């Protein structure tokens, strides 16, 4: 029996044509982007896996677009609500999710068997629960904007001043438009 993997992603914005230009995404249309996001997700995520989406999963709210998209994605999805999750008014779409939260505090087992505490939020938080004790903070929201650059500067400034933090943006644009494991995220530690 295959062990359940845990993945993270954010800011997919299924159905959102403006995000193509906003992020300078490598897709020619929203239809191409949606199809490729689904393909990359399912190439990596198995049906028994768990995926935490840290906000802004689906922009589109027409008819049953949201449940149709969610039903194509492998794994159980827990959504940490973002500011653009307009699809949540759709009861059919909500039933496709394993959970909906504003914030979460979880423990992930790494490939080497070690446990890692993680704070999950759509938004960047420079001072988060457990930051002094090696807890990781995963977030999205800022895309590839000047805000994201400032977030990295703030985290570095705090670390340089002795305020230990380990903060990672799991926005799909930083991870080749596919969900990532915590092991993959931590392998980039110190390479910013």
pLDDT score for 55 = 96
Q: Which residues of the chain carry a pLDDT beneath 50? A: none
* Token duo for residue 40: 């990359």
Q: Are 171 and 140 in contact (CB under 8 A)?
A: yes
Q: φ and ψ at 3, to 5 degrees? A: -70, 140
What span, in angstroms and rounded, lies between the C-alpha atoms of 82 and 79?
A: 8
Domains in the chain: ranges and CATH:
6-186 (3.60.21.10)
Q: DSSP for 39-80?
A: HHHHHH--TT-EEEE-S--B---STTHHHHHHTTS-SEEEEE
pLDDT score for 133 = 93
* Secondary structure (3-state) at 1: coil
Q: How far is CA 166 from CA 48, 111, 171, 183, in A?
A: 28, 19, 16, 14
Strand order in the sheet with 99-101: 99-101, 76-80, 50-53, 6-9, 180-181
pLDDT score for 61 = 64
Going by C-alpha positions, the residue among 42, 39, 37 that lies closest to residue 10 is: 37
pLDDT score for 1 = 57
In terms of Cβ atoms closer than 10 Å to its own Cβ (0-12, 13-18, 19+), residue 160 is: exposed
pLDDT score for 177 = 97
Residue 76's CB is within 10 A of a number of other CB atoms, namely 17
* Secondary structure (3-state) at 105: strand
């Amino acid at each position: 029996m295959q062990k359940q993997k845990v993945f993270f992603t954010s800011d997919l914005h299924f159905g959102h044509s403006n995000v193509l230009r906003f992020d300078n995404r490598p897709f020619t249309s929203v239809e191409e982007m949606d199809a490729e996001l689904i393909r990359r997700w399912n190439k990596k995520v198995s049906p028994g896996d768990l995926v935490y989406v840290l906000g802004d999963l689906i922009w589109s709210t027409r008819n049953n677009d949201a449940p149709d998209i969610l039903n194509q994605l492998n794994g159980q999805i827990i959504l940490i609500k973002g500011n653009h999750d307009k699809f949540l008014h759709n009861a059919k779409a909500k039933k496709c999710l394993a959970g909906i939260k504003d914030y979460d505090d979880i423990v992930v087992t790494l490939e080497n068997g070690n446990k890692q505490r993680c704070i999950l939020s759509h938004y960047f938080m420079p001072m988060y629960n457990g930051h002094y004790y090696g807890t990781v903070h995963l977030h999205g929201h800022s895309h590839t904007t000047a805000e994201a650059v400032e977030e990295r500067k703030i985290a570095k400034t705090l670390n340089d001043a002795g305020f230990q933090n380990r903060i990672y943006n799991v926005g799909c644009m930083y991870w080749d438009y596919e969900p990532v494991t915590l092991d993959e995220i931590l392998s980039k530690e110190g390479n910013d």
